[in-house]
Amino acid sequence: MTTIDATGNSSLSKLANSYKSNDEEKKKSDDYLGREAFLKMLVAQLQNQDPLNPMEGSDFSAQLAQFSSLEQLINVNKSVQSMADAFQKSSETDATSFIGKEVTGNANSVEISSGAASGGQYTLPTTSEVMINITNAEGHVVKTIYPGQQTAGDYQLNWDGTDNGGKVVADGSYTYQVLANTGSGYAALPTTVTGKVDSVSYQNGKAYLNIGGALLSPDSVVKVGSPQVAETEKSMTALDYLGKDISYSGHAFAVEGGKLSGSNIKFGLESQEDVTIEILDSKGNVVNSFEIGAENTVIGNNEINWNGSDASGNLVSDGIYTYSVKSASGKANIAESGDVTGIKYIDGKQYLVAGSDGNLVSISSVTEIN
């Protein structure tokens, strides 16, 4: 009797062996379950088919079509994941847009990093007996703190990062609830916080808004507005600013009789990155713009000069001009400060003269009186 070797096709054997030899390597990759199994089954089917009665071509084509569909689904899945990652990064970047704004949010989160707690504050309206419950992501209370009786005022959450058994909890995000007892039983206190966003902090890869030392998740923000100006500042005239140390968001340039007054543009960066600067006229139109490569910037304070020219290299016409600084990360800071040494009238409008450079500062751009 003649014996038929079902694995006699050397090409198929080599193909099968190549999948076997690379099996461990492919397991280490980010491959999806299903593709490799399909290929192995297809090769095994081709190896073990009856040479006298091979598989129909239509069946083989149908299986290849199924494999093609599988590949497309895998690619679609990768594309969706890439979009999700990009959206997450975009959301984190958007947190910087809150800087300088006054926000209200539910500040009931605390972060544990390397066993240390950060964030968490509460305000007592009256003297109360206080109890605080700290809850993990699953909703289980991991720690109950008893600060005891406290008078009215603002307090920081004092947690050592351990659970009720004294064991250090895992790094991550936790929430807390403050209960106050004024004599008629414990009642939950609201943990909302309102204030100006000073900066953005990152804990465990997540962005948080820093409001006077309190960390607030952008997701918990319920109200956004411009910083409120004190009543005394609303009624202040330009003369009232003389001799005061002010903070302001950028300054103005004046071109009078073909001469430029002030030329320096200062901005702060948290990392070396590409920067685009635009010069704007009094109507907000861009008259010139130029880019600075990351290799020409430094971490911290940067300063360049504008020579008063437009995009064509000609001196701009007389008037008031301002500027904007846009960085790749969106974190460029143009805040400045200095003493007000004088007042200047241009086109019927008052400008403060501030700082050692004699910057022209619009009263509307003053952010704080130090």
CATH architecture of 231-369: Sandwich (2.60)
Does residue 293 sit in helix, strand or coil? Answer: coil
Give the residue among 172, 180, 164 at the shortest CA–CA distance from 127: 180
* pLDDT at residue number 200: 75
Give the residue among 41, 19, 32 at the shortest CA–CA distance from 70: 32
| H-run or E-run covering 20 | helix 10-21
- Residue-wise pLDDT tens digits, 48-106: 766 666 655 556 556 666 666 766 777 777 767 766 655 554 444 467 777 778 888 77
| H-run or E-run covering 278 | strand 275-280
Give the residue among 95, 271, 350 at the shortest CA–CA distance from 197: 95
* pLDDT at residue number 291: 92
* pLDDT at residue number 295: 94
Dihedral angle sign, alpha carbons of residues 345, 347, 353, 356: negative
* pLDDT at residue number 56: 58
In the predicted model, residues of the chain with pLDDT beneath 50 are 1-9, 11-12, 15, 19, 25-26, 28-33, 89-93
* pLDDT at residue number 68: 66
* pLDDT at residue number 142: 92
Which structure tokens are listed for 139?
Answer: 């909703």
Burial 210-236 (b: 16+ CB within 10 A, else e): bbeebbbbbebbeeeeeeeeeeeeeee
For residue 162, CA distances in Å to 156, 159, 349 come to 17, 8, 60
For residue 45, CA distances in Å to 20, 49, 240, 321 come to 15, 6, 90, 76
| H-run or E-run covering 10 | helix 10-21
* pLDDT at residue number 296: 93
Give the integer Cα–Cα distance in Å for 142 and 164. 6
User: Does CATH number 3.90.180.10 belong to domain 102-225?
Assistant: no
Give the integer Cα–Cα distance in Å for 208 and 205. 10
* pLDDT at residue number 314: 92
Helix axis angle, 57-94 relative to 35-47, nearest 10°?
Answer: 170
Helix axis angle, 10-21 relative to 35-47, nearest 10°?
Answer: 150
Give the integer Cα–Cα distance in Å for 29 and 283. 56
Type of residue at 94: D
* pLDDT at residue number 288: 92
- Residue-wise pLDDT tens digits, 352-370: 999 888 888 888 788 888 7
Give the integer Cα–Cα distance in Å for 62 and 284. 63
What is the chain's mean pLDDT, rounded? Answer: 77
